[in-house]
Chains A and B, each alone.
Chain A
């Protein structure tokens, strides 16, 4: 076997120009596909980052008893846990009343981690420990509110007249583009509403970290009785979109390599035809059909392994460059709900994006060798040497 590997190596090395052309063909296909699949990963990451980063976090915890502190949720891969308290009630302004969900938040913590506060269209976001309110554009329009107005908020149903409305100053008006956040929602400092009611947690984790592992950490801390939902459960549409993205990328890779393998077949056939005399001579010397096929397969395998390896290096370099600078696609994503925070894509290498292209190249290279192998093995040595 070593002899055939060595012969195949010598054949490729000493057929320099053709080998370089074939190598470049596979190399460029592999590196391009590594970049494309890393870009697809980057698009997925960006969609997740944008969707969970706007408000909900990667994992949401509901109705957490007030006796449980948010510090209990800290652990590996957890970037931040945002504490929020939801109160249904009504806002009163002049003669107008509207039912809303008031969300008590920690303004500074929100500014560190989430992104919805950046969506202020008028005014500014909340300051710590104030009686300020940050309202959606739809509420502002419906109630005729502008920044600086003072409104009253009463928790509970409209009929509950026991509760004296509490005054809040409108400090900012926002619009996120997400219906659930833009309709009937207002934000205030969490200290401005009752503190003995259950709270909700928005858990933000590091990019690429496994949500299952984070949930396992919660289980170990005996927090498993709480109601947690991952973004996949909360946003099944996004999960489907990401699965679709993986699927389409895999199809693209397979199609590209079918096309590349046709190219390789043609190039390799020309390569073999150019040097068919050599195979004729080897056949005259007693090289069997099996040995001929082995030699050809080694040639194809070696050229593909080398080209794929070089393609992987080139692909990784390109991905790393764009991972640092990012690709700004804001122009194409500004109206897309999955890119509300940022349209900058950062390609990300994964086992899938790094190994699928070279493995596809190898997989498709063998059928590519079949036609040249048939060409050589079917021909009589004498016909080859005669040039027929």
Chain B
């Protein structure tokens, strides 16, 4: 279970302060798919970053599988992220100096898990079996996101955080990717929290939080 309680985040800016998140609370059961919807600038990415421990909320807590992640030390948080979380970003963010297979293998090696079999299995699952030795720059946007997804779930994390993974893809490729993500996540009993402004993707999720100017629209 992932429990988010009253998290708020304020950024200083040239025009004063920006309230990126304001008292957001929700809970996502293990293995569920959770969508965070909202327009650009509504606070989706900030919420995901707080969930993944990449940013610290000013108030509130994020409890992942019984651990308040923002109370962990820097090293503990890093090790928690390494073991329990997987991230998919808008632009894939593949390591450009590694091949596709090496990118997928990276979290497996970090977590000291079996590499060869799992990498081959994931390459097959995302339909890129023949491109194991290709470099990221040789891939299309859709292929890149599939590799990013394979890498994110390689070490079987408990939670996958995907920040607008389809934003740079056409609708069809985007839908295929999300369907793949959801089906694989269900198979691996992994909680998916993704942000999107695509209505068709929102409908695929088990639960949705609608953000508007950093606030949960449903709670108003």
Q: Which of A283-318 contact B (CB under 8 A)?
A: 283-289
Pairwise interchain contact A277-B93, C-beta atoms closer than 8 A:
yes
Question: Are A286 and B81 closer than 8 Å at their CB atoms?
Answer: yes
**In the complex the two chains form, is B79's CB within 8 Å of A278's CB?**
no
Q: Is there a chain B Cβ closer than 8 Å to A235's Cβ?
A: no
Task: Kindly list chain A residues whose C-beta atoms are within 8 Å of the C-beta of B110.
Answer: 285-287
CA distance A277 to B94 in the complex (A): 10
Q: Is the CB of B97 within 8 A of A284?
A: no
Interface-located stretch among B82-90, B118-126, B167-175, B188-196: B82-90
Contact B97 A278 (CB under 8 A): yes
Residues of B within 8 A of A287 (CB): 78, 82, 110
Check if B75 sits within 8 Å of A288, measured CB to CB: yes
A15 surroundings in chain B (CB, below 8 A): 97
Size band of the A side of the interface? 20 to 34
Residue of B nearest to A278 (CB): B95
Interface check A14, CB cutoff 8 A: yes
| Distance of A14 Cα from B75 Cα, bound (Å) | 29
- Of listed B89, B97, B98, B107, residue having the most chain A CB within 10 A: B97
Residue A375 at the B interface, CB < 8 A? no
In the complex, the answer to whether A284 meets B87 with C-beta atoms within 8 Å is yes
Q: Is the CB of B75 within 8 A of A10?
A: no
Which A residues touch B184, using CB under 8 A? none
Q: With A285-B106, A286-B110 in contact, is A382–B49 under 8 Å at CB?
A: yes
| B216 contacts chain A at the CB level, 8 A cutoff | no
- Say yes or no: is B109 at the interface (Cβ < 8 Å to chain A): yes
Mark interface residues in A1-43 (1 if CB within 8 Å of B CB, else 0).
0010001001101110000000000000000000000000000
A60 at the interface (CB under 8 A from B): no
Complex-state Cα separation, A100 to B95, whole angstroms: 86
A385 CB within 8 Å of chain B: yes
Q: How far is the CB of B171 from chain A (nearest CB, A)?
A: 26
Q: Please measure, in the bound complex, the distance between the C-alpha atom of A14 and the C-alpha atom of B49, giving whole angstroms.
A: 30
Within 8 Å CB of A277, what residues of B? 93
User: Does A216 interact with chain B (Cβ within 8 Å)?
Assistant: no
Residue from A7, A278, A382 within 8 A of B55 (CB atoms): A382
* In the bound complex, CA of A285 to CA of B55 (Å): 14
Q: Is A226 part of the binding interface, using a Cβ–Cβ cutoff of 8 Å?
A: no
How far, in Å, is A273 (CB) from chain B's closest CB? 15
Q: Are B87 and A278 in contact (CB under 8 A)?
A: no
The answer to the question of B96 belonging to the interface, with a C-beta cut-off of 8 Å to chain A, is: yes
Smallest Cβ-Cβ distance to A285: which chain B residue: B107
Q: Is B139 an interface residue (CB 8 A)?
A: no
Chain B: CB-nearest residue to A12: B97
Q: Which residue of A lies closest to B52 (CB)?
A: A284
Q: Which residue of A lies closest to B83 (CB)?
A: A286
Query: Per-residue 0/1 for B89-121: is the Cβ within 8 Å of any A Cβ (1 yes, 0 no)?
Result: 100011111100010001101110000000000
**A14-B97, A285-B110 provided; 17 other pairs, C-beta below 8 A?**
A3-B109, A10-B102, A13-B97, A15-B97, A275-B96, A275-B97, A278-B95, A281-B93, A284-B52, A286-B85, A286-B110, A287-B82, A287-B110, A288-B79, A289-B74, A380-B54, A385-B93
- Which 10 pairs, one residue from A and one from B, show the smallest C-beta to C-beta distance? A286-B82, A14-B97, A382-B54, A286-B81, A281-B93, A11-B97, A288-B78, A3-B109, A284-B87, A285-B107
Name B's A-contacting residues (CB within 8 A). Answer: 49, 52, 54-55, 74-75, 78-79, 81-83, 85, 87, 89, 93-98, 102, 106-107, 109-111, 135, 151
Query: Could you list some 7 contacts between A and B, CB below 8 A?
Result: A275-B97, A281-B93, A284-B54, A285-B151, A286-B85, A288-B79, A385-B89
